[in-house]
Protein backbone atom coordinates (compact mmCIF):
# COMPACT_ATOMS: atom_id res chain seq x y z
CA UNK A 1 0.00 0.00 0.00
CA UNK A 2 1.36 3.41 -0.95
CA UNK A 3 0.62 6.53 1.08
CA UNK A 4 -1.71 9.00 -0.54
CA UNK A 5 0.25 12.10 -1.43
CA UNK A 6 -2.80 14.35 -1.73
CA UNK A 7 -3.68 14.09 1.97
CA UNK A 8 -2.88 17.15 4.03
CA UNK A 9 -0.98 16.93 7.27
CA UNK A 10 -3.39 17.05 10.25
CA UNK A 11 -2.04 20.25 11.77
CA UNK A 12 -4.87 20.83 14.26
CA UNK A 13 -4.50 17.51 16.11
CA UNK A 14 -0.72 17.87 15.90
CA UNK A 15 -0.73 21.31 17.57
CA UNK A 16 -3.37 20.21 20.05
CA UNK A 17 -1.25 17.22 21.09
CA UNK A 18 1.89 19.35 21.25
CA UNK A 19 0.26 22.01 23.42
CA UNK A 20 -1.35 19.42 25.70
CA UNK A 21 1.92 17.52 26.14
CA UNK A 22 3.85 20.74 26.78
CA UNK A 23 1.35 21.89 29.40
CA UNK A 24 1.36 18.50 31.10
CA UNK A 25 5.15 18.43 31.14
CA UNK A 26 5.37 21.98 32.47
CA UNK A 27 2.82 21.40 35.24
CA UNK A 28 4.30 17.98 36.07
CA UNK A 29 7.86 19.27 36.37
CA UNK A 30 6.68 22.25 38.39
CA UNK A 31 4.85 19.94 40.79
CA UNK A 32 7.93 17.77 41.26
CA UNK A 33 10.15 20.80 41.88
CA UNK A 34 7.67 22.37 44.33
CA UNK A 35 7.13 19.10 46.21
CA UNK A 36 10.65 17.63 46.21
CA UNK A 37 13.08 20.45 45.46
CA UNK A 38 15.86 21.35 47.91
CA UNK A 39 14.59 23.90 50.41
CA UNK A 40 10.97 23.43 49.33
CA UNK A 41 8.43 24.92 51.71
CA UNK A 42 5.96 22.13 51.00
CA UNK A 43 8.56 19.55 52.00
CA UNK A 44 8.65 21.20 55.43
CA UNK A 45 4.85 21.35 55.73
CA UNK A 46 4.34 17.78 54.43
CA UNK A 47 7.30 15.77 55.78
CA UNK A 48 5.97 12.40 54.54
CA UNK A 49 7.54 11.69 51.15
CA UNK A 50 4.84 9.13 50.36
CA UNK A 51 2.08 11.67 50.96
CA UNK A 52 3.87 14.20 48.75
CA UNK A 53 4.13 11.55 45.99
CA UNK A 54 0.43 10.84 46.35
CA UNK A 55 -0.48 14.53 46.10
CA UNK A 56 1.86 15.02 43.13
CA UNK A 57 0.38 12.03 41.30
CA UNK A 58 -3.15 13.18 41.97
CA UNK A 59 -2.43 16.71 40.74
CA UNK A 60 -0.57 15.39 37.68
CA UNK A 61 -3.49 13.12 36.77
CA UNK A 62 -5.99 15.89 37.36
CA UNK A 63 -3.98 18.19 35.10
CA UNK A 64 -3.99 15.56 32.33
CA UNK A 65 -7.75 15.11 32.66
CA UNK A 66 -8.32 18.87 32.61
CA UNK A 67 -6.23 19.21 29.44
CA UNK A 68 -8.11 16.35 27.78
CA UNK A 69 -11.46 17.96 28.65
CA UNK A 70 -10.39 21.49 27.71
CA UNK A 71 -10.65 23.12 24.29
CA UNK A 72 -7.16 21.77 23.58
CA UNK A 73 -8.12 18.10 23.90
CA UNK A 74 -11.90 17.86 23.67
CA UNK A 75 -12.31 18.19 19.88
CA UNK A 76 -10.04 15.19 19.33
CA UNK A 77 -11.49 12.78 21.87
CA UNK A 78 -13.30 9.62 20.86
CA UNK A 79 -16.93 9.98 19.79
CA UNK A 80 -19.65 8.86 22.23
CA UNK A 81 -21.02 6.15 19.94
CA UNK A 82 -17.58 4.50 19.95
CA UNK A 83 -18.17 3.28 23.51
CA UNK A 84 -21.53 1.77 22.55
CA UNK A 85 -19.92 -0.11 19.66
CA UNK A 86 -17.11 -1.43 21.88
CA UNK A 87 -19.59 -2.57 24.56
CA UNK A 88 -21.57 -4.38 21.89
CA UNK A 89 -18.42 -6.16 20.71
CA UNK A 90 -17.44 -7.06 24.28
CA UNK A 91 -20.88 -8.56 24.92
CA UNK A 92 -20.72 -10.59 21.68
CA UNK A 93 -17.26 -11.87 22.61
CA UNK A 94 -18.49 -12.84 26.09
CA UNK A 95 -21.34 -14.86 24.61
CA UNK A 96 -19.00 -16.56 22.16
CA UNK A 97 -16.42 -17.42 24.83
CA UNK A 98 -19.14 -18.79 27.13
CA UNK A 99 -20.42 -21.03 24.34
CA UNK A 100 -16.89 -22.21 23.55
CA UNK A 101 -16.15 -22.95 27.21
CA UNK A 102 -19.41 -24.86 27.57
CA UNK A 103 -18.67 -26.90 24.44
CA UNK A 104 -15.14 -27.74 25.59
CA UNK A 105 -16.36 -28.68 29.07
CA UNK A 106 -18.90 -31.03 27.46
CA UNK A 107 -16.19 -32.64 25.35
CA UNK A 108 -13.97 -33.17 28.39
CA UNK A 109 -16.92 -34.62 30.31
CA UNK A 110 -17.49 -37.13 27.47
CA UNK A 111 -13.79 -38.08 27.47
CA UNK A 112 -13.89 -38.69 31.23
CA UNK A 113 -17.05 -40.79 30.88
CA UNK A 114 -15.30 -42.94 28.23
CA UNK A 115 -12.30 -43.41 30.52
CA UNK A 116 -14.59 -44.28 33.45
CA UNK A 117 -16.40 -46.84 31.29
CA UNK A 118 -13.08 -48.35 30.17
CA UNK A 119 -11.88 -48.51 33.80
CA UNK A 120 -15.15 -50.16 34.86
CA UNK A 121 -14.83 -52.79 32.10
CA UNK A 122 -11.22 -53.34 33.12
CA UNK A 123 -12.24 -53.84 36.75
CA UNK A 124 -15.03 -56.23 35.74
CA UNK A 125 -12.59 -58.24 33.63
CA UNK A 126 -10.17 -58.42 36.56
CA UNK A 127 -12.88 -59.43 39.03
CA UNK A 128 -14.19 -62.09 36.62
CA UNK A 129 -10.66 -63.51 36.33
CA UNK A 130 -10.36 -62.68 32.62
CA UNK A 131 -7.13 -60.69 33.11
CA UNK A 132 -4.30 -60.99 35.63
CA UNK A 133 -3.60 -58.49 38.42
CA UNK A 134 -0.40 -57.20 36.74
CA UNK A 135 -2.26 -56.50 33.48
CA UNK A 136 -5.08 -54.80 35.39
CA UNK A 137 -2.76 -52.48 37.34
CA UNK A 138 -0.71 -51.63 34.23
CA UNK A 139 -3.82 -50.70 32.22
CA UNK A 140 -5.30 -48.79 35.13
CA UNK A 141 -2.06 -46.81 35.50
CA UNK A 142 -2.31 -45.81 31.84
CA UNK A 143 -5.89 -44.47 32.15
CA UNK A 144 -5.73 -42.76 35.56
CA UNK A 145 -3.50 -39.78 34.53
CA UNK A 146 -5.77 -39.06 31.56
CA UNK A 147 -8.81 -39.11 33.83
CA UNK A 148 -7.19 -36.81 36.40
CA UNK A 149 -5.87 -34.43 33.73
CA UNK A 150 -9.23 -34.42 31.95
CA UNK A 151 -11.05 -33.73 35.23
CA UNK A 152 -8.82 -30.77 35.99
CA UNK A 153 -9.38 -29.40 32.50
CA UNK A 154 -13.12 -29.91 32.81
CA UNK A 155 -13.20 -28.02 36.12
CA UNK A 156 -11.20 -25.20 34.53
CA UNK A 157 -13.59 -24.97 31.58
CA UNK A 158 -16.63 -25.10 33.87
CA UNK A 159 -15.04 -22.32 35.94
CA UNK A 160 -14.56 -20.24 32.79
CA UNK A 161 -18.17 -20.88 31.86
CA UNK A 162 -19.36 -19.72 35.31
CA UNK A 163 -17.14 -16.64 35.00
CA UNK A 164 -18.62 -15.83 31.60
CA UNK A 165 -22.18 -16.23 32.94
CA UNK A 166 -21.36 -13.92 35.83
CA UNK A 167 -19.82 -11.35 33.49
CA UNK A 168 -22.93 -11.50 31.29
CA UNK A 169 -25.05 -10.56 34.32
CA UNK A 170 -23.01 -7.39 34.87
CA UNK A 171 -24.45 -4.31 33.28
CA UNK A 172 -21.71 -2.00 32.04
CA UNK A 173 -24.18 0.64 30.86
CA UNK A 174 -24.90 1.94 34.37
In SS3 terms, 65-128 reads as HHHHHCCCCHHHCCCHHHHHHHHHHHHHHHHHHHHHHHHHHHHHHHHHHHHHHHHHHHHHHHHC
Higher pLDDT, 84 or 151: 84
Domain that holds residue 38: 11-76
pLDDT at 118: 82
Tell me the pTM. 0.41
Choosing from 49, 76, 103, the residue where a domain stops is 76
pLDDT at 56: 94
Choosing from 24, 41, 76, the residue where a domain stops is 76
Do the domain assignments include residue 159? Answer: yes
Structure confidence at residue 55 as a pLDDT band (50, 70, 90): very high
Choosing from 76, 101, 122, the residue where a domain stops is 76
How many folded domains does the chain comprise? 2
Amino acid sequence: MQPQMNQRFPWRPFWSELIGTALLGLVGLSLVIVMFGNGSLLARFIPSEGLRRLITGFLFGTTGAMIALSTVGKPYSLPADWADEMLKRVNEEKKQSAQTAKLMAGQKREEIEKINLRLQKLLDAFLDGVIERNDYTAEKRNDEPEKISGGAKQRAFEGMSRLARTARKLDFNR
